[in-house]
């Protein structure tokens, strides 16, 4: 909301331009430059948009310096330890925590939409079996618009509601199908008597030849992974969803765009990178060598899973994830898994090392989530698809918020052009 008493003055040559300053509920003030081009014929320059607010939003707030992550005002550690994923989905979508009746209705609607259209199974057989699950998910989610015509009108509130529920409900089914296809096992249909996380684990790991019982500790850990990755403000994939949505594209296409962006190793592959660091270390006795390399500014080696680009103090999600990691490792053991043994010892040594402590390079959520997923039996190729399952609700919440915003405009970033100035065409004979 603008504070009429607060303005910034920009001087260009002999001209002064007063720019309104907008004050948020939390975080730094924002200088409103929307009219600057019309008034002064100049653009602002901000590669990566790291200092630019592209929208106003009431969904998620991050203070990286203080290690704060809020969803609709609620701290993420409280939500992850006291709530569960579908309740957090409701909060992100509708703005408030549900009553018992509202939660029961919401869970029922999600549960009853977990199956995918039977003809969609044929899409999977069109991919090579060694196709990356993210490639499959990008294609299949985009193709949902060919099957669910009754929820593609973005201007119809009921269409938006149905599309939201369908995407949240069907994403774990699609991710599990991509996994099953990659290992040559039959697809497993969802079951309505299981919760969201337990259903996903069963669809990934059960086989027709034997019964599969969902372990409550693993289910709880999976639910926390989903909860802790549900939304993260205006990151690359969320901004991609918003930009795609600004053109009026259908919701399935927009979420497919978010999946494609998330696939990038600089974004959704962080927990995979952390696990690969552990594999590079190999055995616990080599940890001091790699810690020394991480401290050496002339060594290109980076110890992944420590510190965070956004959180300069600590990752507020990591404490809850560490609890789940400890529970999972206690359940499954680390004796026969050298990677998990390395992880436990590395965590211990890093937290006792002054170099890491002084620089606040604590294990982040990706370090612990990678450990948990590895212990559960997921290959690293499934880490980012699981991230996509988690983040779908955040993408949809941001998509709905933007569509319902009367200020919505099609995205059109500007540029600092550095090519040749205008010149005349010369016929080929005279070149």
* Active-site residue, selected from the candidate residues 308, 315, 353, 424: 308
How is 64-99 classified by DSSP, letter by letter?
TTTTEEEETTEEHHHHHHHS-HHHHHHHHHHSSPPP
The Cα–Cα gap between 84 and 88 comes to 6
Contacts of 104 (CB under 8 A, 6+ apart): none
366 part of the active site: yes
Distance CA 142, CA 61 (A): 29
* DSSP one-letter string for 39-63: HHS-----GGGTT------SSEEEE
SS3 183: coil
> How far is the C-alpha of 139 from the C-alpha of 255, rounded, in Å?
11
Conformation bin of residue 105: beta by default, left when phi > 0, alpha when psi is -120 to 50: alpha
H-run or E-run covering 175:
helix 157-182
> What is the rounded radius of gyration, in angstroms, for the C-alpha atoms of the chain?
24
| CA distance to 106, 316, 325, per residue, from 344 (Å) | 39, 20, 10
Our answer to whether residue 308 is catalytic in this structure is: yes
Structure tokens belonging to residue 82: 């006291």
User: Which among 231, 366, 424, 427 is annotated as catalytic?
Assistant: 366
Nearest to 389 by CA among 137, 140, 104: 137
- Compute the distance between CA of residue 169 and CA of residue 159 in angstroms, rounded to an integer: 15
Within 13 Å and on the Cβ side, how many CA atoms surround 407? 6
* Catalytic residue ranges: 308, 366
């Amino acid at each position: 909301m603008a504070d009429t008493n607060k303005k910034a003055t920009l001087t260009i040559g002999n001209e002064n331009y007063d720019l309104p300053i907008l004050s948020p509920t939390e975080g730094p003030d924002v200088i409103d430059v929307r009219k600057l081009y019309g008034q002064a014929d100049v653009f602002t320059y901000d590669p990566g948009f790291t200092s630019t607010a592209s929208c106003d939003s009431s969904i998620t707030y991050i203070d990286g310096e203080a290690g704060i992550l809020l969803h609709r005002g609620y701290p993420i550690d409280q939500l992850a330890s006291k709530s569960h994923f579908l309740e957090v989905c409701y909060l992100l979508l509708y703005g408030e925590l549900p009553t018992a009746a509202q939660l029961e209705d919401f869970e029922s609607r999600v549960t009853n939409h977990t199956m995918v259209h039977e003809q969609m199974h044929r899409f999977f057989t069109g991919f090579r079996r060694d196709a990356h699950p993210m490639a499959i998910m990008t294609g299949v989610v985009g193709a949902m618009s060919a099957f669910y015509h009754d929820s593609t009108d973005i201007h119809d509130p009921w269409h938006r509601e149905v599309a939201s529920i369908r995407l949240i409900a069907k994403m774990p089914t699609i991710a599990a199908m991509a996994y099953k296809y990659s290992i040559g096992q039959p697809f497993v249909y969802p079951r309505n008597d299981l919760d969201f996380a337990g259903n996903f684990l069963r669809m990934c790991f059960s086989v027709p030849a034997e019964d599969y019982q969902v372990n409550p500790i693993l289910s709880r850990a999976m639910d926390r992974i989903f909860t802790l990755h549900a939304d993260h403000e205006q990151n690359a994939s969320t901004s991609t969803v918003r930009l795609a949505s600004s053109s009026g594209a259908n919701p399935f296409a927009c979420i497919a765009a978010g999946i494609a962006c998330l696939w990038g190793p600089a974004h959704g592959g962080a927990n995979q990178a952390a696990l690969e660091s552990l594999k590079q270390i190999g055995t616990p006795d080599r940890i001091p060598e790699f810690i020394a390399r991480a401290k050496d500014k002339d060594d290109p080696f980076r110890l992944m899973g420590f510190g965070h680009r956004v959180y300069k103090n600590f990752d507020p999600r990591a404490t809850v994830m560490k609890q789940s990691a400890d529970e999972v490792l206690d359940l499954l053991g680390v004796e026969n898994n050298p990677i998990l043994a390395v992880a436990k010892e590395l965590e211990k040594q890093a937290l006792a090392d002054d170099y890491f402590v002084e620089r606040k390079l604590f294990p982040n959520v990706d370090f612990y989530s990678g450990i948990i997923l590895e212990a559960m039996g997921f290959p690293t190729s499934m880490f980012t698809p699981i991230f996509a399952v988690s983040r779908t609700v955040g993408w949809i919440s941001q998509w709905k918020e933007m569509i319902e915003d009367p200020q919505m405009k099609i995205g059109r970033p500007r540029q600092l052009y550095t090519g040749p100035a205008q010149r005349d065409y010369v016929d080929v004979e005279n070149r």
